[in-house]
Each structure stands twice: as C-alpha cells, then as structure tokens.
Amino acid sequence: MSMTIAEKIFAKASGKKEVEAGDVVMANIDVAMTHDLTGPLSVEAFEKIGVPKVWDPEKIVILFDHQVPADSLDAVTNHMIMRKFVKEQGITNFYDVREGVCHQVLPEKGHVVPGEIVVGTDSHTCTHGALGAFATGIGSTDMSMVFATGKLWFKVPETIKFNIEGTLPEHTYAKDVVLNIIGQIGADGATYKACQFAGETTSNMSVSDRMVMCNMAIEMGGKTGLVEPDQKTVNYLKNHTNKSYNIIKGDDDAASLEIMDIDVSELEPQIACPHNVDNVHGISEVEGTPIDQVFLGSCTNGRIQDLRDAAKILKGNKVSNSIRMLVIPASREVYTKALNEGLMNIFVDSGALVCNPCCGPCLGGHVGLIGPGEVSLSTSNRNFKGRQGSSEGEVYLSSAAVAAASAITGKIEDPRNL
C-alpha cells in the first residue's frame, strides 16, 4: 500500500504495517514540549490523574519563552510551578529563561529528528516538520495524558502537497511564499491536513526557510507542516543532534495525497493585512501604509538569516523617528551569532531596540505592545485583533526585509525601492 510521509510516520508510531488517512491510531510520542505559559495547566491536569511520575523524563522538554523575564506576579508563579515540576520529575531537558523561543531551541538542541512524533502545547509546534518529523500542537489536558502514558490518539490526516517551483525574485523569501499560499487557499483551506512543502524551490531553501513555511501551516488550518528530509536536513542534523533516526519519505501515488502546483518566479513581497492571516496582498497594493512599530523576531522570522537580511538593509540607515523598532532574536544561539557578526551594532546604531530572546509582543501579553489605533508591522505569524496588544490596533505581517525597509521610512516599504 502506498502511503504519504505522514501516514508512514503514524504507522511506525502506532506499531502498524500500514495506515491510511482517516484511521484513528494510538501513537507513541517521541518528544513532548511545553512552556511557561501553557505548562502550568498541563502540570495541574497531570497531578489530577494521580500518576506519581511522568512516563519518560528524558522525552519531555520544558522551556521558558513567552514571558521572559517574568513581567508579572502571575508569570513568576508560572515559572515557579514549572521549576518545581522539573525538579520533582527529574526532567533534564529544561531550558530556563536564558535560551529563547521553544520552536527555535528544540531543533538547535537536537531534540527533533526525522520520522518522529513531536507534540507541544503550542499551536506552532508544526514548525518542526521542516526536519521531517510529524509535529503538532496539542492542548494542555492532552499533554497531561502524554506525561502520564507517553501515548496520544490521532486521526491520520490527509496530505496536501504544495509543489513549489521557480526562482524567487530579489527580496522575496520563504515568508512571502507561505503567505501567498495562505492567501490562495484561505485560513481553513487545509483544515486537519498535513501541509507538505515540496518542489525545486523548497529543495533550494535552507532548513531555516523551511521552518518558516512549516511554522505557518497552522494558519491555513493544517495539522502539521512537512518537508521530506534531504541532504540539507542531514547536514543540519550533523551539527545539532546525536539522536539516531531513520529518514522516511512518502509515495507519490498515495491515495490521500492532493497536489497543488505553485509558481513563485514572479512573486512580489507579500503582506498579510488586518485582521486575518489569509487577508494577503502584494506589497504594491499596501505600500505607503503608515506604521507605528516594527517587530523583527518570533518563531517565524527571528533566526540568524532573518537578522542578516534586515541588517543588510538597515546598515548605514536610521529607524524613522516616527516609529519604534524591536529586534528580538529567536534564541541565545541566534543572539550570539548576531553579536559575533556585528549585526547587533547595526541594529543599535540604526535606533532599533534589541531585546532578549523571547516571544516578545507576539502573544500580546509581554514587551512591545501596541495601543489603540496603532499599527504594527511584524515578522511573526498572526495578526488577529489584540494579538500584539490593543484590540483597536492593527497588525500587518511581512518578511524581515520588508520590516527593515519599512522601519527606515516609517511606512510599509518595498525593500526593492531601497
């Protein structure tokens, strides 16, 4: 029986020879991740189950990233709850306030490899499919059952393969590709499907760029994002993990596979406009829109290449006096690389504010919020009302290059103009 990569991973995880889309399986979990914001709910639910110890402390990863450093007494309490849980359960894969955003830290620290099932109490856990794992977000109650048993039931999803072809034009990036796809199929166009990114354009992308696309699979309703492992995947893993793994690839004639062809050779920079991620327009339609803040960071575009792209544009220029710009590296490793490459000097000299690795304003409850009537241009993944502060504010989404160009002019700016 021919199977997609998603079906093959679930067959392996459930101990079956074959499965097909629509089957309900009980899958063994390889990695279970939670963080400071959702973790306390998982701990509370786990304690109600009455199991004294988690199923495998070495397969659980706990990170602090959403409210780091703690900005309220509630945040402090959450941190204390999780530190206590880590100590009681002997969880060794614990990253306190110093490491950065969970979806950057997990692959950096070698927790994600191809062919595994990765779950996290965060909707953008789908990011890790860029390394060929089936990675998806789950609820805190579901996570408590994973803590107790190491298993979780799933309905095996159908797969939609985006066959992306063409050479990306100048100043057009993976973020523009995935925004364009979301704009085409809508916020519910891939509901509960595995969103597989393939084609020559995907093959030419770095692992970092593939993570951008998989990160936003949830924004089209996807259960996960996936890229089949290749030599770039193997090279990345050589530098980041000691875990053993088996590369799994899907069959092109699998019955549940839907294919959508996309040509990006003439794609212009894309902007997701308020208040939905699928409200996508080419930059030529929204260029000149005044903004109040630029946010460069998040689990979508806070990696070293994003900082390099932005710094190249900002070098020798100043952030407009009419706005503020926040630069938040996705991890301590990214922060250190940016320091060593002199990127931080460029950001500081330009007038940007550089913050510690964390989620920043993305969750709408930490640093860098916007007020009523204010407009944010962000490299993050969501622009719903209130996402970055006031429900009366507006959030536009873009690539790092558009963010940097716009910071200079104080309005949404096409980087090709600069």
pLDDT confidence bin for 385, thresholds 50/70/90? confident
Q: What is the pLDDT of residue 373?
A: 92
Average pLDDT over residues 161-186: 96
DSSP letters, 323-338, are SEEEEE-SBHHHHHHH
pLDDT surpasses 80 at 56? yes
41: helix, coil or strand?
A: helix
What value does the mean pLDDT take over residues 25-30? Answer: 97
Residues 153-180, mean pLDDT to the nearest whole number: 96
Report DSSP state, residue 197. Answer: E
pLDDT of residue 392: 87
What would the mean pLDDT of 287-297 be, rounded to a whole number? 95
Domains in the chain with CATH codes:
4-8+10-260 (3.30.499.10), 270-410 (3.30.499.10)
Nearest-angstrom CA–CA distance, 193 and 27: 17
Structure tokens at 212: 């951008």
Alpha helices in 15-154 (DSSP H): 39-49, 73-89, 102-108, 140-149
Q: Would you list the DSSP string of 254-293?
A: -TTEEEEEEE-TTPPPEEEPTT-TT-EEEHHHHTT-B-SE
Note the pLDDT of residue 243. Answer: 93
Annotated binding-site residue? 299:
yes
Do the Cβ atoms of 206 and 168 come closer than 8 Å? no
- Going by the DSSP 8-state scheme, the letter that residue 59 receives in this structure is G
Q: Which helix (H) or strand (E) holds 345?
A: helix 343-350
Reported confidence tier of residue 15, pLDDT bands at 50, 70, 90: very high
Q: Where are the alpha helices (DSSP H) in 1-59?
A: 5-14, 39-49
**At residue 209, does pLDDT exceed 80?**
yes
Q: Judge whether residue 188 has pLDDT over 70.
A: yes
pLDDT of 370 reads: 85
* CA–CA separation, 43 and 60 (whole Å): 12
pLDDT the model gives residue 39: 93
pLDDT at residue 362 greater than cutoff 80: no
Tally of CA atoms within 13 A in the half-sphere of 161 that contains its CB: 22
125-136 pLDDT per residue, tens = 999 999 999 999
Which of helix, strand or coil describes residue 397? strand
* Angstrom distance (rounded) from CA 130 to CA 219: 16
Separation between Cα atoms, residue 362 and residue 376, nearest integer Å: 11
Is a pLDDT exceeding 80 seen at residue 375? yes
Please say if the pLDDT value at position 365 is more than 70. no
| pLDDT one-digit tens code per residue, 212-252 | 999 999 999 999 999 999 999 999 999 999 999 999 999 98
Position 381 confidence tier, pLDDT thresholds 50, 70, 90: confident
* Region 186-203 average pLDDT: 96
Sheet hosting strand 224-226, strand order edge to edge: 224-226, 193-198, 158-165, 257-263
Cβ neighbours of residue 388 under 8 Å, at least 6 residues apart? 295, 361, 362, 364, 368, 369, 370, 376, 378, 380, 395
CA atoms within 13 A on the CB side of 70: 11
Please check if 126 is assigned to a binding site.
no
Cβ–Cβ < 8 Å for 377, 291? yes
pLDDT at 79: 94
And the tokens for 260?
A: 């959508």
| Model confidence band, residue 389 (pLDDT cutoffs 50, 70, 90) | confident
- Phi and psi for 180 in degrees, rounded to 5? -65, -40
Q: Which residues contact 203 (CB under 8 A, 6 or more apart)?
A: 230
